[in-house]
């Protein structure tokens, strides 16, 4: 038997297959999208099969009837229907049954074939086991007390055993202190109880309560209906069931190209992956995570090969998001980060179309109303910003040593050195080549690096460190090739490791973290935004009428 993915059959290979048709005892094509999905290859193979009197089976990739493919087939309708059922059910066992039946019917062998085995449309996967579990069985298993993170993946992967990337995600979640709940599904649009998709209701909900605290999706496209037939945005475009779950939903990117292609690309992801796994999932409100696997040819078969480091990165992000729902608001530590462009006191909290001081005060008040420990607040947004400036930010024309020593946000050079050594080697090399050895010279007060800020209970109001320096700091503000300073690097590592922020809110248009060197989307751990702050849940209110940004 010889098998090929039509998408990967180029003209040279197609010619070889057409020439070899007389040596075959059957040709079976299964096409997602019907004949038009591979029109040139379909017609050439069918014509060659007719000329050589080789049985030809054309089967739709979707469940349901395709009259055009049926008419193009040359075997008995009963055999075609049986073959279709084997493939619709899927799995290794059904594929073996299909081959046995075709051989017996078309070659006169006596292999024998069991009838197609019906496989579940959805279920819980336990790494290392071929039998699906239900939720009650999974809950009965021994496990820790970490947050539960569900992983949704396609049923086709479970049936084919293409599960290495799911296993990698499970390991990443467990390494971050969570409990992985992987489940497969054919669709997330089939209705079920509790106004949820059937797969979600059966695999994630017990007695009306949602079991996981976060959901990782590896499914492409969007669940929401973005447009109706007339081309206008549908009134019900949001993914209502995701809102009903009321847990963070993250997107794990399963890259459709090879790792080497991704590594060599400054863009990161190909346009197809950007559309299917970033842009469209964002319509559902999914939080876009890093790539977790790459499509490689293993022994002539395409496989999803996990990247263990990226799986751990996704695991940390998912577990941290899940932890937000388990921790009391009064115990959460939040960093509210304002921008400052350029680095002048008069520009603290700058934004386009946003009253940042008033918005920051409204956020602080809302956090207080929601039970966060915020303490006393100033009366107005102007008072808030004035107090922040008086405490000392980054305008070196006014910043004093006394302000730096009294600041609530400071890191000792020894602590920064420890955090620095945990960063990827490529990151350390780029920063050192541009700014010298750690901790650098900027905003260094004795042995401590200074960060501007005010402490309101468990909420730190702070300002993003400067990125541009020299005679024309504005010109290099967006320079994608300029490594940030030690002071900048230390700020984000301090927020996560020392301040231990549960979440970071960036307020203003716009900051500089997203403009640091690295891939545009689908980042590696050697991309600066990922290396500095990828594990902390981020909230970034941003103007929606500025598509250029």
510 contacts: CB under 8 Å, gap ≥ 6: 339, 351, 542, 549
Tens-digit pLDDT profile for residues 77-96: 999 999 999 998 888 889 99
Q: Higher confidence at residue 8 or residue 526?
A: 526
Residue 507 and residue 36: Cα distance in Å, rounded? Answer: 49
Tens-digit pLDDT profile for residues 526-537: 999 999 998 999
Tell me what pLDDT residue 313 has: 98
| Residue 254 structure tokens | 């399963």
Q: Higher confidence at residue 419 or residue 474?
A: 419
Cβ-count burial 424-439 (b if 16+ within 10 Å, e if not): beebbebbeeebeebb
- Asked whether the predicted pLDDT for residue 123 surpasses 90, the reply is yes
- Asked whether the predicted pLDDT for residue 498 surpasses 60, the reply is yes
Tell me what pLDDT residue 396 has: 86
- Asked whether the predicted pLDDT for residue 356 surpasses 80, the reply is yes
Tens-digit pLDDT profile for residues 129-153: 989 999 999 999 998 999 999 999 9
Residue 114 and residue 6: Cα distance in Å, rounded? Answer: 28
Confidence of residue 232 (pLDDT cuts 50, 70, 90): low
Residue 51 and residue 325: Cα distance in Å, rounded? Answer: 65
Q: Report the percent of the chain where pLDDT is more than 90.
A: 77
What value does the mean pLDDT of the chain take? 92
Tell me what pLDDT residue 164 has: 97
Residue 317 and residue 548: Cα distance in Å, rounded? Answer: 28
Comparing 188-202, 317-331, 524-538, the range with the smallest average pLDDT is 188-202
Phi, then psi, of 266 in degrees rounded to 5:
-75, -25
Tell me what pLDDT residue 548 has: 58
Tell me what pLDDT residue 322 has: 98
Confidence of residue 480 (pLDDT cuts 50, 70, 90): confident
- Asked whether the predicted pLDDT for residue 100 surpasses 90, the reply is yes
Q: Higher confidence at residue 541 or residue 448?
A: 448
Comparing 17-26, 199-208, 307-316, 504-513, the range with the smallest average pLDDT is 504-513
Tell me what pLDDT residue 62 has: 85
Tell me what pLDDT residue 359 has: 95
Tell me what pLDDT residue 524 has: 98
pTM of the model: 0.89
- Asked whether the predicted pLDDT for residue 115 surpasses 80, the reply is yes
**Residue range 428-454: mean pLDDT, rounded:** 95
Tell me what pLDDT residue 549 has: 57
Tell me what pLDDT residue 40 has: 85
Beta strands 148-154; 122-124: pairing state: unpaired
Tell me what pLDDT residue 227 has: 63
Tell me what pLDDT residue 474 has: 67
Question: 528 to each of 282, 433, 482, 484, 518, how far by Cα in Å?
Answer: 23, 15, 10, 8, 6
Which helix (H) or strand (E) segment holds residue 505: the answer is strand 503-507
Confidence of residue 471 (pLDDT cuts 50, 70, 90): low
């Amino acid at each position: 038997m010889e098998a090929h993915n039509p998408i990967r059959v180029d003209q040279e290979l197609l010619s070889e297959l057409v020439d070899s048709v007389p040596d075959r005892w059957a040709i079976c094509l299964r096409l997602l999208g019907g004949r038009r999905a591979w029109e040139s290859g379909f017609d050439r193979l069918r014509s060659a099969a007719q000329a050589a009197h080789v049985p030809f089976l054309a089967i739709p990739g979707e469940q349901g009837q395709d009259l055009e493919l049926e008419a193009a087939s040359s075997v008995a309708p009963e055999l075609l229907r049986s073959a279709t059922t084997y493939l619709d059910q899927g799995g290794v066992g059904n594929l073996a049954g299909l081959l046995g039946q075709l051989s017996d019917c078309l070659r006169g062998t006596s292999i024998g074939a069991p009838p197609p085995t019906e496989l579940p449309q959805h279920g819980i996967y336990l790494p290392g086991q071929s039998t699906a579990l239900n939720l009650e069985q999974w809950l009965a298993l021994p496990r820790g007390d970490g947050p539960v993170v569900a992983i949704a993946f396609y049923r086709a992967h479970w049936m084919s055993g293409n599960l290495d990337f799911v296993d990698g995600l499970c390991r990443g979640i467990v390494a971050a202190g969570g409990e992985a709940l992987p489940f497969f599904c054919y669709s997330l649009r089939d209705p079920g109880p509790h106004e949820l998709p059937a797969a979600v209701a059966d695999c994630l909900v017990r007695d009306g309560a949602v079991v996981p605290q976060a959901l990782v999706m590896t499914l492409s496209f969007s669940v929401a209906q973005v447009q109706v037939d007339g081309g206008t945005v549908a009134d019900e475009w949001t993914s209502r069931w995701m809102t009903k779950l009321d847990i963070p939903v993250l997107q794990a990117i399963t890259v459709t190209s090879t790792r080497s292609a991704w590594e060599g690309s400054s863009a990161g992801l190909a346009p197809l992956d950007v559309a299917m796994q970033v842009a469209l999932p964002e319509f559902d409100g999914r939080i876009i995570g890093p790539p977790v696997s790459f499509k490689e040819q293993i022994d002539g078969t395409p496989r999803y090969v996990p990247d263990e480091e990226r799986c751990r990165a996704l695991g940390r992000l998912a577990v941290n998001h899940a932890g937000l729902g388990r921790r009391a608001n009064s115990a959460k530590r939040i960093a509210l980060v304002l921008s400052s462009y350029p680095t002048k006191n008069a520009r603290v909290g700058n934004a386009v179309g946003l009253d940042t001081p008033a918005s920051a005060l409204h956020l602080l008040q809302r956090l207080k109303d929601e039970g966060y420990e915020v303490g006393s607040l100033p009366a107005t947004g102007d008072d808030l910003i004035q107090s922040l400036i008086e405490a000392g930010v980054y305008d070196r024309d006014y910043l004093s040593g006394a302000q730096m020593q009294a600041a609530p946000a400071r890191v000792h050079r020894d602590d920064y050195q420890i955090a620095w050594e945990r960063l990827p080697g490529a990151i350390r090399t780029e920063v050192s080549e541009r700014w010298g050895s750690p901790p650098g010279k900027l905003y260094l007060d004795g042995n401590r690096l200074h960060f501007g800020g005010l402490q309101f209970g468990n909420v730190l109001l702070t300002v993003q460190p400067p990125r541009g320096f020299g005679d024309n700091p504005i010109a290099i503000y967006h320079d994608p090739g300029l490594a940030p300073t030690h002071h900048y690097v230390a700020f984000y590592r301090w927020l996560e490791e020392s301040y231990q922020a549960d979440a970071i809110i960036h307020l203003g248009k716009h900051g500089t973290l997203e403009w640091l060197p690295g891939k545009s989307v689908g980042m590696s751990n050697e991309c600066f935004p990922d290396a500095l702050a990828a594990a902390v849940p981020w909230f970034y209110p941003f103007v929606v009428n500025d598509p250029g940004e």
